[in-house]
Amino acid sequence: MCQRFELLAEQSSTQFVACCEHGTVHLGWGGSIWLLSRQELIELIRLVTGPPDERLDHRGPCFVSRDSTGRTVLWSHERALAFTHAGYHAFRTLLLTARPNFERVPAEQTDVTFQSYRLN
């Protein structure tokens, strides 16, 4: 059970990126929380900041598609999040804000590196 979090980026109580004491990334968006490994977060950041052609590469574990209403859909393994254009922009900003903070969190977490942080 994850009890201690280092907040990497936060836009609201439902839009945040945090890292728990186990080194797992908790990505909150629109009421759901994705638990990601460090490598998965790195892949997601690369995906949303990379060239558009790469985003549509369905061979990777993470990719972006469009649904029939024009929303952007972000896939990671079997999970998906659908965004309006503005929502996707906000999501991208959230990940870009988290990136420098994430990079300074050591891969092997210890209690000493943590500030207590309560998520809702």
**Residues at the site binding Zn ion, with contacts judged by CB under 5 A:** 2, 20, 22, 24
Tell me the closest approach of the beta carbon of residue 39 to Zn ion, in angstroms: 16
Q: Which is nearer to Zn ion, 24 or 65 (CB)?
A: 24
Which amino acid appears at position 40 of this protein?
E
Secondary structure class of 54 (helix, strand, coil): helix
**Angle of CA points 106, 81, 87, to nearest 5°:** 90
Tell me the closest approach of the beta carbon of residue 2 to Zn ion, in angstroms: 3
- Strand pairing partners for 64? 74
Q: Which is nearer to Zn ion, 38 or 71 (CB)?
A: 38
Q: Which is nearer to Zn ion, 23 or 61 (CB)?
A: 23
Tell me the closest approach of the beta carbon of residue 3 to Zn ion, in angstroms: 8
Residues 6+ apart with CB under 8 A from 108: 23
